[in-house]
Amino acid sequence: MKIVKFGGSSIASPDFVNKVLDIVIEKSKRDGIAIVFSAFAGVTEVLSDCCKMAEAGDIQYQPQLKALEHKHLNMVKSLVPVQNQTKVLTFVKVNFNELEGLLQGIFLLKECTKRTRDFVLSFGERLSAFTLTESLKSRGEKAVFIDSRSIIRTDNHFGNAKVDFETSNALIVEAFKSNPGLKVVTGFIASTAHGETTTLGRSGSDYTAAILATALGAESLEIWTDVNGMMTADPRLVKKALTIPELSYIEALELSHFGAKVVFPATMQPAMRKQIPVHIKNTFNPTGEGTLISAKAGNGTLVRGISSMKGVTLLNIQGACLMDVIGAGKRVFEAVARGSINIVLISQASSEYSICIAVSEGEGKRAKALIEEEFVYEIKTGDMEEVTISKGKAVIAAVGENMKQHPGASGTMFQALGENNINIYAIAQGSSELNISAVIDQQDMTKALNALHEAFFLSDRKVLHIYLVGVGLIGKTLLKMISAQQEKLQRENLLEVKVVGLANSRFMDFNEDGFNIANGFSLDNTHQKMSLTRFREMMNDMNLSNTVFVDCTASEEVASCYQQVLEANMAIVTPNKKANSSSLEKYHALRKVIGKGNARFLYETNVAAGLPVIGTLQDLIVSGDKVLRIEAVLSGSMNYIFSRLEEGLPFSEVVKEAREKGFTEPDPRDDLSGADVARKILILARESGLSLEFSDIEVESMVPEDTASAESVDEFLTLLEVHNADFQKRLDTARNEGATLRFMATLDKG
């Protein structure tokens, strides 16, 4: 016998249900099976919402309920042939009449007890399983509907009832014996000894299936859902998540406990007790391998999966009374337990001065009150401080049995988090070494999951997220280079480069999946006005791992935000010289930030374009060399101009030509003034360890004085003609000395 469970996601529409019924019929030909169904997708949630609304006196529950009825009637009409529909349609209508009455009662009383809520929720599974039984019958199967309330006995812990296995096992065996045929059982619901309806906890249908499997000694339990199995991380948050072929019960339990919703955590205990293998399979990919959960730990990776749980509140309990006093911890936990509050994580430092516990968001305040009530005297005497609570946290956990006695997992974990600027508030590792958990800000959760996933499962692969400001001549060329190299980088360097943010001086645009830059890129069709503040906010909000900010502008304003970018642990790559050649104070402030964080600041192209001058200089300085003198031709534009001058052309013509060819700035005076060269030598001087300001550099401008104030570039070029003879004279003088004309920068004796 196999127990086969289909979740709501597998029966979301008539088309899906038909796929499910095909699988069921095919299976029942080969093996003895019994089926467990959840409610149709989303139904439990709507019923729960209706309860809340009715209780709050919101009459809007009525249209919600009507829509739900419609959904069920449609399911029946699509899944059961006309000649057999009457009975099922009547069943649906009768049940909705009852539901209407119930909700009306809640609405009038403005009260919905947990017991009433369980009863309302139970309609979901009853409706789906009954409809599907009839649908199977009409396909010729000898199907029998079993309401699990008659076979699973629980206590009266409504909403999360505890199973009485002894009684349930006997009831299940008996019911299976006396009902020949293909059994179709409702998931999620059960009843007390007094016949009150209970539920096993949200997502509890998996558990129902496990309970049946153990009672019947089934050879296996199959959980059919909408993903390819248990995955290395939540596939909704980590696009590159991989299916885990094999897992141990304990690993699956840990992963599901910390949020891997694909199986309900309690499912594992009965299966483990009876050593029943659990298969997780995809309804939409039935031939896929899926995941096998058994006693055996899967081999290979140190960490098997990463899971996360959001909506967590952290409580910090602190004070002298916790030190050395045996039993203080016990009092903390007992106080919380009195409120039936589940503790997600505990962490205590060896100083024993503080204990930190994580609970789910809704319980934070109550937990604080309970603890403070317990320690009321200690708080009065100052032996204990007020309990602090921090909301908006998430727990992220790396799970794997192979972590045992294999050092390195926590190193990898915390390094990946640190590199991505993710702050950790508390850490816990069980001595079983099965799980390392960290409490982080909820807003960092997706980034953290992806960073850890990359570190543990794709350690040979990396995704780089690039934000590029300045899509001008240089920016566009860079995009072309990236595009041309993209495939090779991915294939040979295992590096996936995604350009996720772009801006020029007017517009900006973002795309988390990466822009298609194959044919260049234009921001013309974008309507988001560029604002540097907003651009940086987007970089923070998108919160992607491995982020690089590329500044291809020459803007002072952009350069002035580097410090904040680096502080957010995003790397910077730039040819923009402004940051490194501004005031010494700013230069040193930037160095300080770089020293503190992990993010790199790369500006090799600030000086000498593609020649590795800055890196070489840095290496020389680090290894103890002293720079005595630097002498360099540092301006490509000026170099072109003077080379052409040597060829016999007049100076004004040469400048005009250089400008037309795009070798100068739009206004050639920006090059001829020598300021750009001065910035470059200043950067080299600073890299050599000298504390110089821009004003310390003596610059001989190549812009004749009477042309400096010309209004337009054309006017400047005309005025320049008068000076052609002067430049010719300089060239002749140089030639007479066996020299040539070049615009040089020299750093000498500091």
Residues designated catalytic: 680
Q: Quick count: other Cβ atoms within 10 Å of Cβ 563? A: 17
Burial of 403 (0-12, 13-18, 19+ CB in 10 A): buried
Is residue 45 near ligand ADP by the rule CB under 6 A? no
Which partner in ligand ASP, ligand ADP, Mg ion, none is near 673 (CB below 5 to 8 A by kind)?
Answer: none
Shortest distance (Å) from residue 40 CB to ligand ASP? 9
Between 114 and 365, whose beta carbon lies closer to ligand ASP?
Answer: 114
> Least distance from C-beta 448 to ligand ADP, angstroms?
15
Count of residues engaged in binding ligand ASP, rule: CB under 6 A? 12
Q: Which of 423, 425, 356 is nearest to 388 (CA)?
A: 356
User: How many other CB atoms sit within 10 Å of the CB of residue 527?
Assistant: 7
Binding segment for Mg ion among 26-34, 202-210, 599-607, 723-731 (CB under 5 A)? Answer: 202-210
Q: Which residues in 592-631 contact ligand ADP (CB under 6 A)?
A: none
Residue 320 DSSP code: G
Q: What whole-number distance in Å separates Cα of residue 310 and Cα of residue 301?
A: 26
How many residues sit close enough to ligand ADP to count as binding (CB under 6 A)? 20
Alpha helices in 407-500 (DSSP H): 409-419, 445-457, 473-492
**235 near ligand ADP (CB under 6 A):** yes
**Separation between Cα atoms, residue 381 and residue 445, nearest integer Å:** 39
Task: Please check whether residue 229 is in contact with residue 243, taking contact to mean a CB–CB distance below 8 angstroms.
Answer: yes
Residue number of the CB closest to ligand ADP reads 7
Tokens for 656? Answer: 């005009």
Q: What is d(CA 311, CA 395) in angstroms, rounded to the nearest whole number?
A: 9
Rounded to 10°, the helix 114-138/43-55 angle is 150
Out of 10, 38, 347, 543, which residue is the one contacting ligand ASP (CB under 6 A)? 38
Which part of the chain contacts ligand ADP (CB under 6 A), choosing from 2-10, 53-61, 314-322, 617-625?
2-10
- At its nearest, how many Å lie between Mg ion and the CB of residue 311? 18
124 binds ligand ASP (CB under 6 A): yes
Phi, psi dihedrals of residue 432, rounded to the nearest 5°: -70, -10
The answer to whether 259 contacts ligand ASP (rule: CB under 6 A) is no
User: How many other CB atoms are there within 10 angstroms of residue 678's CB atom?
Assistant: 20
Taking the complex as a whole, how short is the minimal distance between the CB of residue 210 and Mg ion, in angstroms?
12
Q: Write each residue from 446 to 465 as x if it is in contact with ligand ADP (CB under 6 A), else as -, in one continuous string.
A: --------------------
Task: Return the one option of ligand ASP, ligand ADP, Mg ion, none that residue 226 interacts with (CB less than 5 to 8 A, by type).
Answer: ligand ADP
Per CB under 5 A, the segment of 1-9, 63-71, 352-360, 543-551 that binds Mg ion is: 1-9
Among positions 297-326, residues that touch ligand ADP (CB under 6 A) are 305, 307
Site for ligand ASP in 197-216 (CB under 6 A): 202-205
Our finding on whether 203 is near Mg ion (CB under 5 A) is: yes
Per the CB < 8 A criterion, the answer to whether 466 and 432 are in contact is no
Question: What does the alpha-carbon distance between residue 644 and residue 96 come to, in Å, rounded to a whole number?
Answer: 91
Among 160, 203, 637, 652, binds ligand ADP (CB under 6 A): 203
Is 261 a binding residue for ligand ADP by CB under 6 A? The answer is: yes
Looking at the Cβ atoms of 115 and 202, the one nearer to ligand ASP is 202
Nearer to ligand ADP, 309 or 552 (CB): 309
- Residue from 2, 4, 8, 146 in contact with ligand ADP (CB under 6 A): 8
Contact in structure between 747 and 630 (CB atoms under 8 Å): yes
What does the block give as tokens for 692? 């110089």
**Exposure of 618 by Cβ count < 10 A (0-12 exposed, 13-18 middle, 19+ buried)?**
middle
Bridging pattern class, strands 354-360 and 388-399:
unpaired
**Residue 188: CB minimum distance to ligand ASP, A:** 4
- In the bound state with ligand ADP, the residue whose beta carbon lies nearer, of 203 and 574, is 203
Q: Which is nearer to ligand ASP, 7 or 575 (CB)?
A: 7
User: Taking CB under 6 A as the criterion, which residues in 180-199 touch ligand ASP?
Assistant: 187-188
Q: How far apart, in whole angstroms, are the C-alpha atoms of residue 272 and residue 293?
A: 9
Based on the shown chain and the rule CB under 6 A, indicate whether residue 3 belongs to the binding site for ligand ADP. Answer: no
The one segment of 144-152, 231-239, 598-606, 623-631 that binds ligand ADP by CB under 6 A: 231-239
Long-range contacts formed by 322-328: CB under 8 A, 24+ apart: 322/352, 322/353, 322/354, 322/355, 322/384, 323/351, 323/352, 323/353, 324/352
Environment class of residue 540 by beta-carbon count within 10 Å: exposed (0-12), middle (13-18) or buried (19+)?
Answer: middle
| Residue 681 binds ligand ADP (CB under 6 A) | no
Residue 664 interface partner, choices ligand ASP, ligand ADP, Mg ion, none, CB cut-off 5-8 Å depending on type: none
Indicate if the alpha-carbon torsion angle 226, 232, 236, 238 is positive or negative: negative
Q: CA of 317: how far to CAs of 383, 428, 440, in Å? A: 11, 16, 18
Query: Does position 7 bind ligand ASP by CB under 6 A?
Result: yes
Least distance from C-beta 187 to Mg ion, angstroms? Answer: 9
Contacting residue, 2, 3, 6, 7, with Mg ion by CB under 5 A:
7
- HSE-CB for 417 with a 13 A CA cutoff: 26
For the chain, the first-to-last Cα distance in angstroms comes to: 87
| Nearer CB in complex with ligand ADP: 442/637 | 442
Among 20, 25, 23, smallest CA distance to 7 is for: 20
What are the DSSP calls for 111-140, one per residue? Answer: ---HHHHHHHHHHHHHHHHHHHHHHHHHTT
Place of tokens 């911890």: 329
- Is 8 a binding residue for ligand ASP by CB under 6 A? The answer is yes
Single-letter amino acid code for the residue at 649: L
Q: Which of these segments, 257-265, 539-547, 678-686, 722-730, binds ligand ADP (CB under 6 A)?
A: 257-265
106 or 209: CB nearest ligand ASP: 209
Number of residues that bind Mg ion (CB under 5 A): 2
* Nearest-approach distance from CB 245 to ligand ASP, in angstroms: 24
Quick note: the x/- pattern for ligand ADP over 159-198, rule CB under 6 A, is ----------------------------------------
Instruction: Single out the residue of 2, 4, 10, 444 in contact with ligand ADP (rule: CB under 6 A).
Output: 10
| Nearest-approach distance from CB 41 to ligand ADP, in angstroms | 7
Helices (H), 80-113: 82-109
Q: Does 201 bind ligand ADP (CB under 6 A)?
A: no
- For the chain, how long is the longest CA-to-CA vector? 117
Nearer to ligand ASP, 202 or 366 (CB): 202
Give me 625's structure tokens. Answer: 């060399």
By the rule CB under 5 A, 259 interacts with Mg ion: no
What would the DSSP string read from start to end of 516-563?
--BTB---TT--PBP-HHHHHHHHHHH--SSEEEEE-S--HHHHTTHH
Instruction: Give the residues lining the site for ligand ADP (CB under 6 A).
Output: 7-10, 38, 203, 225-227, 230-231, 233-236, 260-262, 305, 307
Instruction: Give the residues lining the site for ligand ASP (CB under 6 A).
Output: 7-8, 38-39, 44, 124, 187-188, 202-205
Instruction: Give the residues lining the site for Mg ion (CB under 5 A).
Output: 7, 203
